[in-house]
Chains A and B, each alone.
Chain A
Amino acid sequence: MSPLPNHLRELRREAGARHTTAPASIPWAPMPSPSLPAHLQRLLQLRTHRSGTLGTPPSTDREVPGEEIAPGLHYTEAWMDWPPPAASIDARFARVGEPVARAHLLHFDTETTGLAGGTGTRAFMIGAADWIDSRLRVRQLTITSMAAETTMLRMFAGWLHTQSVLVSYNGKSYDAPLLATRYRLARLPNPLIGLRHLDLLHPVRRHWKGVWANCRLATAEHRLLGVVREDDLPGAQAPAAWLHYLRGGSAANLRRVLQHNAQDLKSLAGILACLAGMDDRAG
């Protein structure tokens, strides 16, 4: 570790900071350091610069599923047999008066670097599912470099058209604002603006809040669809799985994130089919 980090750590300890060491597993990539301004060198007693240490050695298991359609952007596509809803869906359960055409549905779900919010959280995976005839098509975009984010956002925008009806679970509060931020930072127009959006969390809450232990997607899919996930990577571990890969680690958990995301999309489509036709009892 170079003298600057050490010195800063010391100052922070003196200032009372309690957590001043970096997480042990995170590698620190050193590079030649331009010299600090003279007064800081004096203050920080920086006389020499020494290379830092590297963390975990690179893994050989680096296989990310799908096709690398652009540098750092992986695309997967799968077709699933899954009970489809009617071609025209009664959406009153979601307080939408007009019926919605099944062909316009786009179920989507992002996997992100965390829950902290603000401009520092990004989606590293966007999954979308739609009905082609009566089969469910699941498409997923995964980035393995930061630079590929803009291409991913452009690609996802291309999947949407003015007729699209978004389907999500808590997407109105979480995924859509997060993507809005990412489009803004990438200086791209936000393709989600103006689209109808069925956020299934709200009708599920209206029907089963207080009935089930909670209204999480895992509960809803289990209760409504009988889904039991095996070897599912909990959503909370997705950020670490991606970060680990990004820093040269194994892709094993990243592949599990893809599976988890695909199951979320399937469940979204299944829950929508269950809800379709139910009226808005609570409303």
Chain B
Amino acid sequence: MNALPDRFRPEGASLSPPGDGRILAERLSRRYAARITGSIVMPATTGSYVPLPDNLPPVLAAALRQRGITRLYSHQAEAWAASQAREHVAIVTPTASGKTLCYTLPVLAAALQERAKALYLFPTKALAQDQLAELLELNAAGQLGVKAFTFDGDTPGDARQAVRVHGDIVISNPDMLHQAILPHHTKWAQFFESLRYVVIDEVHSYRGVFGSHVANVIRRLQRVCAFYGVSPQFILCSATIGNPRGHAEALIERPVHCITASGAPSGERHVLLWNPPVVNADLGLRASARSQTNRIARLAIKSGLKTLVFASSRTLVEVLTKYLKDVFDHDPRKLPRIRAYRGGYLPRERRAAERDMRAGHVDGIVSTSALELGVDIGALDVVVLNGYPGSVAGTWQRLGRAGRRQRAALGVLVASSDPLDQYLVRHPEFFRDATPEHARIAPDQALILLDHIRCAAFELPFGDGENFGPVDAVPWLEVLAGEGVLHREGERWEWIADSYPAGAVSLRSVADGNFVVVDRSAGRQNIIAEVDFTAAAVTLYEGAIHMVQSVPYQVERLDWEGRKAYVTRTHVDYYTDAIDYSRLKVLDCFDHAACGAGQAGHGEVHVVRHVAGYKKIRYYTHENIGYGPVNLPDQELHTTAVWWQLPQVLLDAVFADRQQTLDGFMGAASALHLVATVTVMAESRDLQKSVGSSDGAWFASTNPRGHSRVHGSDDGQRATPGAEPAFTPTVYLYDAFPGGVGLSAPLFDRRDELLARALELVQGCDCRGGCPACVGPVLAMDEGATHTPKMLALQVLNLLAHG
């Protein structure tokens, strides 16, 4: 695979002989030093091998040898030993380190020796198909006779019975387990009675709301298993995250044996962080990430390096593919060297693309995150990320796609103009030193818990004193009896309603109020997206530009009661931003602490959110080009928040007036929100910010001209903040889900770190007086103004950090 066919031999004198990732990294660093904000080198590691274990069933060992596997990596052997010791196992090793074998060996051994069954859960159908293919190959190689089937929404009704009865290994996903398997567990009785292993791959993707749901589905699974008298062993696999053991244990609520040391060899690896050059210094505009990505990929492919480009949307994939094809595929008589790979292709097309890539026929692949997880496409030399994928862990997962044993690999992260990208590309230490983000779940989130206790009660009656996970179920059962779905008789709580509760619970949202986005372009009626109820008011108002996979659609009509937004494809050059006012009131302070000259707190809050209208903002220039009205009901939210405040006397002494104080707080809120999003691995919309007084008497918003202003609790606007008798401005960061999903507690614990990072973010920003990458959009800045938003924000942050 390393030898290059003739046609790839460099033709021009300007090209160096076939190189590797290191040579390309050096060339790029020389030529584009100003664009490279960080450079990381990871030396090659040698593999750590052990012989095939003695206690491996002989037929299985023979099948492995047949496939050319004569020894194991040390982590595979460790997983085998731990599984044979009946431990739950979590394996956290890099991409392409052979983690599949860690669970395949114990599962096949148990199937061969005891006809024991295994359930595999993958987050996506595509991955399930890949797993199946791999299992079948090994199975065929050793003529093992183990039957493996996928069970998902595509499994035809008449095939389902065969899967249930004959499957030794059933490969499915959490949604199917939740909606189709557990509520019909009696049909799966034989399967459950012999269930020995539950394999859950990609557990790093089970975080936040989705992870909290999945943890509850696992509680239900364990409960059903107990009914059939089994207690299966769990084998979990994860990409690198900061808390692999903690996360695995939170998901299955059992102690796990955590394996983090990979025995797989890896080649030298280079990573470059790349910020596009400034093309308009006055506006602070940079060249597009797309142009930079294209340039880097072109150079890599010309140097004879197999290259993978990740882009965030299908459109970008198509655009970048076209750019590269224009260079490399102009001769239609030759095999295409560039391929696109994205969701929306038919499985057959995907298989063909994967085969071509594995066979080495393709030199450049442009992909969405459809390729991110597990899909095998062979060895690569270079990965280019067009934009930050949203998390440090996700960045490493994608960069990990490049790597060969003998040759150095290169990964390049090209920052977009998004504030988060700009923050990260200027902080290489996030990638170099900091541990990756922690995956967090909140399985006891009140609404999620109630949903799953409801589903669990449908599956098996509850008895008094029975726990659900660690939770005493009785108070929740009382609530369900109050709803009329349970009937209590003696010590048992029996399902009594004529409904199928799992059908109404989506694992990706809190409660069932999701809006669907219906595309009506060109007479179609396609559902193209779902939006959480809590996000609907700020993203789906009539007139909003709603992005679906980076494709802009305009909302034409919002059916609030019917939970539908009708959109059409649009080509406008602006995006929209809701003008929303949030009023918070602290209901209960769980904890507080001194913080510089002020105080930080954490507790339950009541939020009222009002969307008054929206702004139209032109791309790139961030020019405000118009307004639109919004007429929607107020949103109420009981949730948890973390907050910071400073005493009035101090503020009056430091700031010239209250307007400036408020501008400073708004800027500080933007910076804190940005660093907090990075710190807790949250989606930025799951964490919201607000500035107001702690008693809910007033709250601030940014007016269209970029100035903060104050609103009273009666919604009437007041011209100046100074009119407030008690003026205690507070920055809030709150969890955007009713009841919260556990984002604010870790933020409170790390409050000092957040302040330090926010301070450093604003101080270190290249802008003069404030910009979207630090203190938020600053639209109307006076030339030569002495009190810039940036300076005011720094004052607030300094008072909080140092007093």
Q: Please, which residue of chain B has its CB at the minimum distance from the CB of A28?
A: B482
Q: Please, which residue of chain B has its CB at the minimum distance from the CB of A118?
A: B183
Least distance between B30 CB and chain A CB atoms (Å):
55
User: How does the 8 Å CB contact mask read for B477-503 relative to A, with 1 for contact and 0 for none?
Assistant: 011011110011110101111111110
Least distance between B227 CB and chain A CB atoms (Å):
8
How many A residues have CB within 8 A of the partner chain?
54
**CB < 8 Å neighbour of B184 from A1, A11, A12, A118:** A118
Is the CB–CB distance between B588 and A42 below 8 Å?
yes
Q: Contacts A10-B638, A11-B739: A16 and B479 contacting too (C-beta < 8 A)?
A: no
> How far, in angstroms, from A261 to B472 measured CA to CA in the complex?
41
Least distance between A8 CB and chain B CB atoms (Å):
6
Q: Contacts A15-B510, A34-B475, A44-B446: A119 and B497 contacting too (C-beta < 8 A)?
A: no
Cβ contacts under 8 Å, B484 to chain A: 22-23, 26, 28
Q: Contacts A1-B482, A246-B487: A18 and B513 contacting too (C-beta < 8 A)?
A: yes
Is the CB–CB distance between B186 and A180 below 8 Å?
yes
Cβ contacts under 8 Å, A5 to chain B: 478-479, 482-483
Is the CB–CB distance between B739 and A120 below 8 Å?
no
Is the CB–CB distance between B189 and A184 below 8 Å?
yes
Least distance between A177 CB and chain B CB atoms (Å):
8
Is the CB–CB distance between A121 and B479 below 8 Å?
no
Cβ contacts under 8 Å, A239 to chain B: 498
Least distance between B509 CB and chain A CB atoms (Å):
8
**CB < 8 Å neighbour of B513 from A16, A30, A119:** A16
> How far, in angstroms, from A30 to B502 measured CA to CA in the complex?
26
User: For window 139-191 of chain A, which residues contact chain B by CB distance below 8 Å?
Assistant: 145-147, 177, 180-181, 184-185
List the one stretch of A79-87, A108-116, A252-260, A268-276 in contact with chain B. A108-116
Please indicate which of the listed interface residues A11, A23, A120, A243 has the most CB atoms of chain B within 10 Å of its own CB: A120
> How far, in angstroms, from A235 to B489 measured CA to CA in the complex?
25
Cβ contacts under 8 Å, B739 to chain A: 11, 43
User: For window 11-35 of chain A, which residues contact chain B by CB distance below 8 Å?
Assistant: 11-18, 22-23, 26, 28-31, 33-34
Is the CB–CB distance between A40 and B444 below 8 Å?
yes
Is the CB–CB distance between A16 and B563 below 8 Å?
yes
How many B residues have CB within 8 A of the partner chain?
63
User: For window 290-325 of chain B, which residues contact chain A by CB distance below 8 Å?
Assistant: none
Least distance between A6 CB and chain B CB atoms (Å):
10
Is the CB–CB distance between B498 and A114 below 8 Å?
yes
Cβ contacts under 8 Å, A36 to chain B: 472, 475
User: How does the 8 Å CB contact mask read for A185-211 relative to B, with 1 for contact and 0 for none?
Assistant: 100000000000000000000000000
**CB < 8 Å neighbour of A22 from B483, B489, B501, B637:** B483
Is the CB–CB distance between B533 and A15 below 8 Å?
yes
Interface of B, helix, strand, loop or mixed by DSSP = mixed
Interchain Cβ contacts within 8 Å, total number: 156
Please indicate which of the listed interface residues A23, A42, A118 has the most CB atoms of chain B within 10 Å of its own CB: A118
Cβ contacts under 8 Å, B481 to chain A: 28-29
Interface presence of A2 (CB below 8 A): yes
Interface presence of B40 (CB below 8 A): no
Is the CB–CB distance between B563 and A42 below 8 Å?
no
> How far, in angstroms, from A244 to B187 measured CA to CA in the complex?
30
> How far, in angstroms, from A2 to B483 measured CA to CA in the complex?
12
Interface presence of A52 (CB below 8 A): yes
Is the CB–CB distance between A4 and B498 below 8 Å?
no
Q: Please, which residue of chain A has its CB at the minimum distance from the CB of B224?
A: A119
Is the CB–CB distance between A42 and B590 below 8 Å?
yes
Interface presence of B708 (CB below 8 A): no
Interface presence of B738 (CB below 8 A): yes
Is the CB–CB distance between A14 and B482 below 8 Å?
no
User: Would you mind naming 18 contact pairs between A and B with Cβ atoms under 8 Å apart?
Assistant: A4-B475, A5-B479, A11-B447, A12-B738, A15-B511, A16-B511, A16-B532, A18-B512, A22-B484, A33-B475, A113-B496, A115-B498, A116-B499, A119-B184, A121-B498, A146-B461, A146-B487, A246-B496
Instruction: Report B's interface with A, CB cutoff 8 A.
Output: 183-187, 189, 444, 446-447, 450, 458-461, 471-472, 474-475, 478-479, 481-484, 487-490, 492, 494-502, 509-514, 532-534, 536, 561, 563, 587-588, 590, 604, 635-638, 640, 737-740
Other contacts beyond A18-B513, A18-B563, A118-B458: 7, CB < 8 A: A4-B478, A7-B446, A8-B447, A10-B638, A12-B738, A120-B500, A246-B496
Instruction: Report A's interface with B, CB cutoff 8 A.
Output: 1-2, 4-5, 7-8, 10-18, 22-23, 26, 28-31, 33-34, 36-37, 39-40, 42-45, 52, 113-121, 145-147, 177, 180-181, 184-185, 239, 243, 246-247
